[in-house]
Amino acid sequence: MLAGSSSCVGSLDQYPHTSTTSNDVYSSVEGYQMTLGGIYAAFIQRISNVSSEARSQNYIRTLMMFQDCSTDACDAIWLAGESLTDVNGLSWNAGDPWCSAMYYHIYNIVAMTNELVRNATDEEKLSGFNEQERAQIEKYCLEARFLRAYAYTQAIDFYNRMPFVTEEDGVGTYIPRTYDRTQMFAYVTGELEEIAPLLEKTNYGHANRGAAYALLARLYLNGETWTGTPYYDECITACNHVIEDGYTLESDYSSLFNGDNHLRTNEIIFAFACDGTNTTTWDATTFITCGEVLANFEDYENVWGTESSGAWNNLRARPELVDAFEADDSRALFIAYDRTAVKDDAGNTTDYNTTPREKDIAAHDDATTGYRVYKWTNLNDEGEPASFCGEGGGANTDFPVFRLADVYLMLAEAVVRGGSGATVGQAVNYVNDVRRRAYGSDAGNIDESDLTLDFLCEERLREMYMECIRRTDLIRFGKYTSQYNWQWKGNVLDGRDVDAKFRFLPIPEAEYSVNPEMQTVNNEIGF
What DSSP assignment string belongs to 185-202? HHHHHHHHHHHGGGS-S-
Report how far residue 100's alpha carbon sits from residue 97's, in angstroms, rounded to the nearest whole number: 5
100: Cβ contacts below 8 Å, ≥ 6 apart? 51, 52, 508, 510
Q: Looking at residue 427, what is its pLDDT? A: 98
Q: Looking at residue 57, what is its pLDDT? A: 72
Q: Looking at residue 81, what is its pLDDT? A: 60
Q: Looking at residue 307, what is its pLDDT? A: 86
Domains and CATH numbers, the chain: 1-198+488-527 (1.25.40.390), 200-249+264-271+403-465 (1.25.40.10), 274-397 (no CATH)
Q: Looking at residue 171, what is its pLDDT? A: 74
| Helix pair angle (453-464, 404-416), 10° resolution | 170
- Splitting the chain (527 residues) into consecutive groups of 10 residues, what average pLDDT does each group show? 33 39 86 96 78 62 95 86 81 91 94 96 94 97 98 98 92 85 98 98 94 98 98 98 98 98 98 83 88 94 92 94 97 97 92 96 90 98 94 91 98 98 98 98 98 98 98 98 96 96 95 89 94
DSSP, collapsed to helix, strand or coil, labels residue 103 as helix
Q: Looking at residue 15, what is its pLDDT? A: 34
Please check whether residue 334 is in contact with residue 317, taking contact to mean a CB–CB distance below 8 angstroms: yes
Report how far residue 82's alpha carbon sits from residue 79's, in angstroms, rounded to the nearest whole number: 5
Q: Looking at residue 11, what is its pLDDT? A: 34
Burial of residue 55, with CB atoms counted within 10 A of its CB: 0-12 exposed, 13-18 middle, 19 or more buried: middle
Q: Looking at residue 513, what is its pLDDT? A: 85
Q: Looking at residue 49, what is its pLDDT? A: 60
Among 518, 515, 474, which Cα is nearest to 69's? 474
